[in-house]
Structure 1
Amino acid sequence: MSMRIDPSWTVLKSIEDDYHERCVDLFARPDGTFGFEEFRRDVEDQGRWTATQYYSGKSFGSREAAWDAAKHAVSWIT
């Protein structure tokens, strides 16, 4: 798990690409806001998920708004 994902946040949805090399997590924060982050998994990282962007710093008022933003920001999400 990325250091950019706080342990108090709850992952609501995790979507991987067809090759299982990229992932986007949609999460809820205890304060009622939502966010997302994109990750990659490479051999040199021993298969661990590593955050690739700084999307988790953005805050959205609803799950739907966060998911819509993720779909616009991450090109491989269909």
Structure 2
Amino acid sequence: MTELTWFKSSHSSNEDAACVEVAWRKSTYSSNEGAQCVEVAETPGTVHLRDSKDKTGPQLTFEPAAWKAFIDFAANADV
């Protein structure tokens, strides 16, 4: 199992005790060689997606229902 990397959400304030932490995990569909790695972090209202080779680069965000629809479509696609 891949170790999760936790970080405090940028939407949490330093004064508020109710912080949100997010853990990135490598997609199970990514290759072990790292050629096409995707990392996913899920929060109650958003699913975040990033390139594991560019952890500080751009991220995509999806509503959970849209992410589930994509996963369902990809799982049933004829490749």
Whether TM exceeds 0.5 here: the answer is no
Normalised by the length of structure 1, the TM-score is 0.42
Question: Which is higher, the Rg of structure 1 or of structure 2?
Answer: 2
Normalised by the length of structure 2, the TM-score is 0.41
